Chains A and B, each alone.
Chain A
Amino acid sequence: MVTAPLALDLLVEASEESSPAQPCVVLVRNDDDGVGVREHLKFFGEITARAAPAPRVLVRPTPGATDQTTFALDVLVALGKNPHVLAGEQLGASAWSYARAWLAAAQVTDLVVDRAHQLPAQRWGELGELAAELGCRVWLIWSGPGDSQAAMDSARGAGVRCASVMPEWLPWLLPVPVRPQQPDHPFSDTLLPLAEFTTFRAAARRHLPPHQFETVDRLYLDAAGAADGWLADHQHLRAEGREGIGGALAAWLRDDQLGPHQRPSQALVVLRATQAALFVGGVLLCWNPAALGPDPAARLCGTIDTRQRVHELYVGARTAPAAITALSLHLNQPPLYFDCWRLGDVATDGSVLNSPEVHRHKAPAYLSYPDHQAAIATTSGVTEIACAHPVRIPAPAQVLLAAHHAYRRHQGATAEDPFFADPTTPAEAATYSRLRSHAVRTAARLHHTPGWLHLDDCRYGADIGLHRRPSGWLIERGLSVHLLDPALTERVPHPVRRPPWR
């Protein structure tokens, strides 16, 4: 029953979490439909569904369905997609491509197919190909009659190793994953003083209990040190003026310094420290919380940095709307420069979008209008051009970009092809209006309608007959960048010169 060498490998892989999965197809002979396998899969399914997208996936094929599209929908549901959203997307024959893309993005190591004996022979072959393509293990739970040997032969045809194991082995070979732990937040929410950055640290020392101040100050000093280091590395950008250093500063604040913090109090401490460090370096980062609502510090955090927010984008199967909207929300601006990125600029795992060597984006004319320039000057002072600097994607949202990357690869796109392609002519970049319509529709589904996504004839009325409002990550947070006179900077006492801020 057991093909000894492969079964041994599986046991070794199961015992070592870190060992990479070897692509193979494993047939579990559960002929009598034993209770053990059923219960094991029930727990397995519960845990993996809760952790989706997870590297272990349990697919329960729709009974009686033999077509590829329905099986693809079953795979997508197993990956945590909402079946009602999938039904509305009308994926048709492209469902399998999307399923493969999302499987690749989730970096699936174990794909378990329950009641595989009910699938037609064609699906077995496709699952074998999938194992080879993704480098994962495909488990076929064979709980009834049928020609299991034919299934193995079909899978072998894809060039992957195959084995047949007894059901008693399943709990050892495919253990139930550990329940995901709740994140531990050592930094509890603290009521911080509403002082400007010039007196924030002193006010915190005065108002907070010593143990709380110690925690806050540790974060403050680390953030100030990081800001000082960044400024030292980017002094050359001062020559490019406010726009030059402001664009890089916005990208850094968004991706590294401020955006990743999920707690408003943390973000506020980091902001105040950054402001102080930049000020002594000759850059004034102003924060105007007056227009940010009742909890302005909450607006400082990233837009899509939590699993909850990303999950709302994750529920559909179409990769382009999810990726465009995620990127748009992360940058807090419409998808203006998204036509610039090529497939080669985007990391396979969706973690980063590098700045293209050659910029091909089409900037709209209104950006150069004097009134728009004046509006920018009075808000953040920086025209944030998304493709001008690398964009690092928050970890929970990376799967969205990775899935679109995988989907484009399946479409046959090369590194030089656009990342966001026109659906009718995939070799060409998608137009701005199409990109924006994707973002508008998806954001509306999330009941999220930021002003910068409104259409020209906006029903909210804000932009009718008026100039377009500037948008960007800094503006969304009430931040603006100003360069100080170098003569003034020289006279400001520089605590950084006592390394490193301690």
Chain B
Amino acid sequence: MPTHFLGLQGASTLPTHQFQLTARIVDDLVAHAATGCVHGPAGAGKTFAVDAALERLRASGGHPVVTCSVSFPSKPTMLRVATELVTALTGTIPPPSRNRFQLISQLVGLLAAPARLLVLDEAQRLTGECLELLRHLHDHHETRFALLYVGGDGCWEVLSREPMLRSRIFRRLPFQPLERAQIPGLMRGYHRVYAAADEELLWDIDDVYAHGTLRDWAVFTNTAAALCAEANRDTVDAAVIANACTLLGGGV
């Protein structure tokens, strides 16, 4: 399993609906060499779910597919995207003398075989030109690879703005924050400090700090677990929560 945020120790993977759907979507994309999109607000667990699905894919050996994850800085140029992709696929940085035509030709060759799944994290940072490049690669008759866009706020807006891209999305999974009703059930299995915690306390944490966001839950848990260890307590209580909230900005 991938590492939790901040390297949180002792945390379990939450089998949320979205987490399980991600695995299914990744399988479908690989099977059809299609394009998909996983998007949602920051910290909702998209990258974790995708990483877990990729790990499972590599470990199972069921899919003879090579996975490759790439992320880009904000508003990258098309040349930068092509360079990053070549680097990710070959493991070496192409010489700076390579122009766009040469890089794209190389990418077409690289993506022709073997079967690959290309995961582009933070896809909301891509510009229309970069998306056009990815479309060009995916539509090319010589290439065969699955493409998964993973992005935060604005990702779907960026992708759906391009009709040529929107019509190519084979699977789409919008991630949402956890619903309030799910919190006690899920969090008791998340970490031992919540195992015997009162339902009201868990809702308090969510209301005050986490707001259904898994990354915030990881941050809070990290702090709370440390405080519990200092105070020799097995379970969070109102004092631990109050101290943790103070350390984390008072819930503001």
Residues of A whose CB lies within 8 Å of any CB of B are: 32-35, 38, 41-43, 45-46, 49, 58, 60, 62-65, 70, 73-74, 77, 83-84, 87, 114-115, 118, 143-144
Indicate whether B142 reaches chain A with its CB closer than 8 angstroms.
Answer: yes
Pick the residue among A63, A84, A115 that contacts B129 (CB under 8 A): A63
Partner of A83, one of B102, B141, B164: B102
Q: Report 19 cross-chain contacts, Cβ distance below 8 Å, ordered by A residue.
A: A33-B167, A38-B139, A41-B139, A45-B140, A60-B136, A62-B100, A63-B132, A63-B133, A63-B135, A63-B136, A64-B129, A64-B132, A64-B133, A70-B99, A83-B106, A84-B102, A87-B102, A115-B136, A118-B132
Closest beta carbon of chain A to B29's beta carbon, Å: 17
A145 to B62, alpha carbons, bound, how many Å? 42
Contact between chains at A42 and B101 (CB < 8 Å): no
A83 touches B142 (CB 8 A): no
A84–B106 Cα distance when bound, in Å, is: 8
Tell me whether A65 and B167 are in contact (CB under 8 A): no
Known contacts A49-B142, A63-B78, A63-B129; decide if A87 and B164 are in contact (CB<8 Å): no
Contact count A vs B, C-beta below 8 Å: 64
B163 within 8 Å of A (CB atoms) = yes
B residues contacting the other copy or chain, number (CB 8 A)? 22
Question: Most chain-B CB neighbours within 10 Å: which of A45, A46, A87?
Answer: A87
User: Are B101 and A144 interface neighbours, CB within 8 A?
Assistant: no
List chain B residues, Cβ under 8 A from A64.
78, 100, 129, 132-133
A143 to B167, CA, bound (A): 12
A65 touches B136 (CB 8 A): no
Distance in angstroms between the alpha carbons of A32 and B101 in the assembled complex: 27
Shortest C-beta distance, A140 to chain B (Å), equals 16
> In chain A, what residue has the closest Cβ to B141?
A45
Complex Cα–Cα for A493 and B197 (A): 115
Task: Point out residues on B near A: beta carbons under 8 Å.
Answer: 78, 99-102, 104-106, 108-109, 129, 132-133, 135-136, 139-142, 163-164, 167
Give the interface SS of chain B, mostly helix, strand, loop or mixed. Answer: helix
- Are A87 and B101 in touch, CB under 8 angstroms? yes
* Known A64-B78, A64-B129, A84-B105: A70·B100 in contact at CB below 8 Å: yes
A41→B142 CA distance, assembly (Å): 12
B139–A77 touching, CB < 8 Å: no
Q: Which of B105, B109, B132, B133 is the most central at the interface, judged by chain A CB atoms within 10 Å of its CB?
A: B105
B-chain residues with CB within 8 Å of residue A34 when the two chains form the complex? 167
Distance of A205 Cα from B139 Cα, bound (Å)? 58
Asked whether, in the complex, the Cβ of B101 is within 8 Å of the Cβ of A62, the reply is: yes
* B100 surroundings in chain A (CB, below 8 A): 62, 64-65, 70
- What A residues does B99 contact at CB under 8 A? 70
Given the interface contacts A49-B142, A70-B100, does A87 sit within 8 Å of B78 by beta carbon?
A: no
- Residues of chain A within 8 A (CB-CB) of B78 are 63-64
CA distance A251 to B142 in the complex (A): 42
- Complex: A118 Cα to B164 Cα, angstroms: 13
Chain A min CB distance to B142 (Å): 7
- Which residue of B135, B141, B142, B163 contacts A32 across the interface (Cβ within 8 Å)? B163
Known: A45-B141, A60-B140. A77 touches B164 (CB 8 A): no
Q: Is the CB of A83 within 8 A of B101?
A: yes
Chain B residues lying within 8 Å of A32, measured Cβ to Cβ, are 163, 167
- Chain A residues with Cβ below 8 Å from B129 are 63-64
